[in-house]
Structure 1
Amino acid sequence: MSDDAKQYWYNTATGQVEEGQRSDWSKVMGPYPTREAAQHALEQARARTAAWDAQDEAER
């Protein structure tokens, strides 16, 4: 088993978690160390974006 198979990827096109990167890189987010972390990829991305937006706004 390669190292890639031990990682998880969130497929933005299907909304499914993949074990190992199976889809094209333009359709996946990751890698994540666990299936659960990959399942929450979009929530994490939204939270980070909101935090960065707030920081940008505070710096203006």
Structure 2
Amino acid sequence: MAADSEKYWYNLTTGQVERGFASPAVDRAGPFDTEEEAAHAPQLLKERSRAWAEDDARENDWGSGNSEK
């Protein structure tokens, strides 16, 4: 448990960085190793979301007009 207490979380509701134990919470992103990493969570989440959407589009061949029905 000691290692978890050293982790940082970004609270999506308050916009604040929190330090504490790993526990399920729908309003927190993380864990992050440093406070600075946690502070950049919104940007990181946005970048990952965009990358996943691009991967999905490539895998599903979206927008190519080659859909099979």
Same fold (TM over 0.5): yes
Deviation by residue 1:7-40 (Cα, 9 ceiling, x = unmatched): 0000011100001148861211111000011011
Residue 7 of structure 1 aligns with which residue?
7
Counterpart code for 2:49: T
Give yes or no for contact 2:5–2:22 (8 Å, CA) kept in 1. no
Aligned counterparts of 2:53 and 2:14: Cα–Cα separation in 1:
27
State which structure, 1 or 2, has the greater radius of gyration over its C-alpha atoms. 2
Bigger relative contact order, structure 1 or 2 (CA pairs below 8 A, ≥6 apart): 1
Give structure 1 regions of 4+ aligned residues with deviation exceeding 2 angstroms: 21-24
Give yes or no for contact 1:4–1:21 (8 Å, CA) kept in 2. yes
Larger proportion of helix: 1
Aligned counterparts of 1:53 and 1:25: Cα–Cα separation in 2:
24
How well do the aligned residues superpose, as a CA RMSD in angstroms?
A: 2.2
Residue ranges of structure 1 left out of the alignment (5+ in a row): none
Count of matched residue pairs:
60
Superposition TM-score, scaled by structure 2 size: 0.73
Q: Aligned pair in 2 of structure 1 residues 11, 21: CA closer, same or farther (>3 Å)?
A: farther
